[in-house]
Amino acid sequence: MFPTLIGTVVIAGIIGYLTEKFGFTRNGILQSIIICVGGAFLFYFVRIMFGFGFASPGLNAITASIGALIIVPTHWRKR
């Protein structure tokens, strides 16, 4: 369980960095990494508690990171 949690954080951090590096988001590198790690933690614990998710933890981390990057910045952005 612990290696899965560490892998989730690493994958989420890489996704956050790459989305900022390639210009998909304009949040800032640290902010994107924090958003991705937060979304991945949330999805990880939902997976443990309720069993929702995909078969592999890596795919869960990637999906949660991208989903958090889509939801969080667009929710707070001014119109």
Question: 56: phi > 0 → left, psi -120 to 50 → alpha, else beta; which?
Answer: beta
Q: Is residue 79 part of a domain?
A: no
Query: The pTM is what?
Result: 0.85
Instruction: Output the pLDDT for position 77.
Output: 63
pLDDT digits (tens, 9 = 90+) for 11-67: 999 999 999 999 888 888 999 999 999 999 999 999 999 988 888 889 999 999 999
Domain that holds residue 49: 2-74
pLDDT over 80 (residue 78): no
What is the count of structural domains for the chain? 1
Q: Is residue 46 part of a domain?
A: yes
Q: Is residue 13 part of a domain?
A: yes
Q: Is residue 30 part of a domain?
A: yes
Q: Is residue 36 part of a domain?
A: yes
Instruction: Output the pLDDT for position 32.
Output: 92
pLDDT over 60 (residue 79): no
